[in-house]
A and B are shown apart, each in its own frame.
Chain A
Amino acid sequence: MLGIETSCDETGVGIVRGRDLLANVIASSMEEQARFGGVVPEVAARAHLEALQPTLAAALAEAGVGLADLDALAVTSGPGLAGALMVGIGAAKGLAQATGLPLYGVNHLVGHVGADLLRTETDADRGELELPTIALLVSGGHTSLLLVRDLLDDVELLGETIDDAAGEAFDKVARLLGLPYPGGPEIDRAAASGDPGAIRFPRGLTAPKDRDRHRYDFSFSGLKTAVARWVEAARDRGEEVAVPDVAASFREAVVDVLTAKALDACREHGIPRLLLGGGVVANRRLRELAETRAADAGVALRIPPLALCTDNGAMIAAIGAQLVDAGRPPSDPRFGADSTLPVTRVQA
């Protein structure tokens, strides 16, 4: 099974055999995006078109297989940036016509969960993904909390961000602090020597009044504004901004909310399992706090290898392989890009 992923700024092509990972090649337009300080949809879509065929060829070479060895194709149909998704769908449909292979349109967010099914040479002893599980999926494009009872038939969205994605917040705050794009690793680096308790930044949607409607939703735009105010106030006083302290305190506010809500979901639903996914998992402090809090709560924490956490084609292929195994027919040939595809629709 070959999977194509183009929902945001990474062009990913992965090849799997059942649950064995054979290839996972990713081309990123991050360098081009860096000029703009964030993901510009048109820049991403142009980069996908340029990167797709080289990435596809590289994946086939890495797996040591030819198109004739494939049994089926999968492509992300949503959620994501519509123009970016359409490049992958166009390529996948062309490939399907040329090869006669069946094509499955796959949900990107469920793909992040499916990534954990994949076995690589180095983590064969990581054990099996057990269901049901809570899944926290955090990237520059999404911040979602899922309850996964069955990968193909029962995925429920518990909550998601109502404004910025967590990754976007990292990028925007990095800019405020004069740090380059992408913000995640920069904030991480700056925060290393800072005091996470130096400044108490707000935790979005954690007030008692938010408990009913937004218990599992996230909001990072107020936090971003609070950091901006703090920085401006310090500069107005003629003080030098203590970048490490601001970075550490900001990061702490983000990962505190993310992990607190994820573990709250584990507790409320009586599910002692939490899976992390998405590019922000690269953040060291997020992994650390998730580990501590999961251990305290008796929750088993699973984090797929980082190359499978960021957006990639292998996770899309993994879901495609599950769909084939379950005997599902290919997607309607007229499926399109759905930028808001709900998690309840695993297949387009």
Chain B
Amino acid sequence: MLLALDTSAGTSAAVVRDGRVLARAEEAGTRSHAEVVGVLIADALAGADVSPRDLDGVAVGMGPGPFTGLRVGIAAARAVAGALGIPVLPVVSPDALALGRAEPTLVVTDARRRESAWTLYDTPDAEGLPVRRAGPAHAPSDAVEEAAAALASGIRFTRLDASLIPADALGLLAERLLALGRPLGPAEPLYLRAPDASPPGAPKRVSA
């Protein structure tokens, strides 16, 4: 049984077991992750009527997404897993939205600063799992489709804009990846952007 958590867009928590969703709790707000993360975990556990000790792992979305919120979910997931002595199962967040879609799909989420995060998916593989064709990457929000099309090799895709990555799908995907022995997502967040700072140059002159 897994707890799943994603804060790469809104905040979503879920409990899944053996391909079934036992509970899901979420809030769409994109600036309230730190406020709601605890209560949503509690709601998901209560909704599934399970205790933390029943968990076998914590699936967590590694983004991409606005960094400040993204880190809240990862910090919480690592703390839950660390406290219970169970593994963290990192997942590329948009993969959760591509799961179960039969046609090529472009998943688009907000990345702030008039940019969007996008990931382009082919049709699923033989196991029905998402296949990333390009991305995740950032592009100006008004040029996402051009950016994706440039790497699409002519395939037609459906665009899917999301303001929340559903943690239940994320948890189900983590279960499948584990069961099939497939690689999970990256251990560190998908920042896709360096910190907005540069090493200082010479001090600016202050006198005339």
Binding site for B on A (CB under 8 A): 35-38, 40, 42-43, 45-46, 48-50, 52-53, 56-57, 67, 82-83, 85-100, 103, 175-176, 225, 228-229, 232-233, 333-337
The prevalent SS among residues of A at the interface is helix
Q: What separation, in Å, do the CA atoms of A317 and B69 have in the docked complex?
A: 25
A97 contact from B42, B68, B196, B198, Cβ within 8 A: B42
Contact check, B207 vs A232: say whether CB atoms are below 8 A apart.
Answer: yes
B200 contact from A37, A45, A335, Cβ within 8 A: A37
Contact check, A334 vs B36: say whether CB atoms are below 8 A apart.
Answer: yes
B206 adjacent to chain A (CB < 8 Å): yes
Q: What separation, in Å, do the CA atoms of A98 and B78 have in the docked complex?
A: 11
Contact check, A90 vs B34: say whether CB atoms are below 8 A apart.
Answer: yes
Binding site for A on B (CB under 8 A): 7, 32-39, 41-42, 45, 52, 67-69, 71-80, 82-84, 188-189, 191, 195-200, 203, 205-207
Contact check, B76 vs A90: say whether CB atoms are below 8 A apart.
Answer: yes
Contact check, A87 vs B52: say whether CB atoms are below 8 A apart.
Answer: no
Closest 9 A/B residue pairs (Cβ): A94-B79, A93-B38, A94-B76, A90-B75, A90-B72, A98-B83, A42-B195, A336-B35, A40-B197
6 further A-B contacts with Cβ under 8 Å, apart from A93-B76, A228-B205, are A36-B198, A42-B195, A86-B71, A87-B75, A93-B34, A97-B41
Least CB separation from A6: chain B residue: B75
Contacts of B77 in A (CB 8 A): 94
Contact check, B34 vs A337: say whether CB atoms are below 8 A apart.
Answer: yes
Q: What separation, in Å, do the CA atoms of A206 and B41 have in the docked complex?
A: 52
Contact check, A49 vs B35: say whether CB atoms are below 8 A apart.
Answer: no
Least CB separation from A227: chain B residue: B206
Q: What separation, in Å, do the CA atoms of A318 and B84 have in the docked complex?
A: 25
Q: What separation, in Å, do the CA atoms of A94 and B82 have in the docked complex?
A: 10
Contact check, B67 vs A42: say whether CB atoms are below 8 A apart.
Answer: yes
Question: Among the interface residues A57, A86, A103, A175, which one has the most CB atoms of the partner chain B within 10 A?
Answer: A86
Q: What separation, in Å, do the CA atoms of A176 and B200 have in the docked complex?
A: 11
Contacts of B37 in A (CB 8 A): 90, 93-94
Contact check, A94 vs B197: say whether CB atoms are below 8 A apart.
Answer: no
Contacts of B203 in A (CB 8 A): 175-176, 228
How many contacts A-B (CB < 8 Å)? 139
Q: What separation, in Å, do the CA atoms of A67 and B77 have in the docked complex?
A: 16
Q: What separation, in Å, do the CA atoms of A212 and B207 have in the docked complex?
A: 31
Q: What separation, in Å, do the CA atoms of A200 and B206 have in the docked complex?
A: 18
A98 to chain B, nearest CB (A): 4
Contact check, B199 vs A90: say whether CB atoms are below 8 A apart.
Answer: no
Least CB separation from B197: chain A residue: A40
A49 contact from B7, B71, B83, Cβ within 8 A: B71
- Given A87-B75, A228-B206, verify A49-B38 contact (CB < 8 Å): no
A22 to chain B, nearest CB (A): 18
Contact check, A97 vs B197: say whether CB atoms are below 8 A apart.
Answer: no
A232 contact from B7, B38, B198, B206, Cβ within 8 A: B206
Contact check, A97 vs B38: say whether CB atoms are below 8 A apart.
Answer: yes
B59 to chain A, nearest CB (A): 13
Contacts of B7 in A (CB 8 A): 90
Contact check, A53 vs B195: say whether CB atoms are below 8 A apart.
Answer: no
Question: Among the interface residues A53, A95, A97, which one has the most CB atoms of the partner chain B within 10 A?
Answer: A97
- Given A57-B82, A67-B83, verify A36-B200 contact (CB < 8 Å): yes
Q: What separation, in Å, do the CA atoms of A314 and B7 have in the docked complex?
A: 29
Contact check, A53 vs B82: say whether CB atoms are below 8 A apart.
Answer: yes
Contacts of A52 in B (CB 8 A): 75, 78-79
Contact check, A336 vs B68: say whether CB atoms are below 8 A apart.
Answer: no
17 contacts between A and B (CB under 8 A): A36-B197, A42-B195, A46-B189, A48-B71, A49-B189, A50-B188, A53-B82, A57-B82, A82-B68, A86-B68, A90-B71, A92-B79, A93-B38, A98-B52, A103-B38, A175-B203, A228-B206
B68 contact from A38, A83, A91, A175, Cβ within 8 A: A83
- Given A36-B198, A49-B75, A225-B206, verify A94-B41 contact (CB < 8 Å): yes
Contact check, A90 vs B73: say whether CB atoms are below 8 A apart.
Answer: yes
Q: What separation, in Å, do the CA atoms of A327 and B194 have in the docked complex?
A: 45
- Given A67-B83, A87-B71, verify A232-B199 contact (CB < 8 Å): no
Contacts of A85 in B (CB 8 A): 34
Contact check, B38 vs A94: say whether CB atoms are below 8 A apart.
Answer: yes
Contact check, B200 vs A91: say whether CB atoms are below 8 A apart.
Answer: no
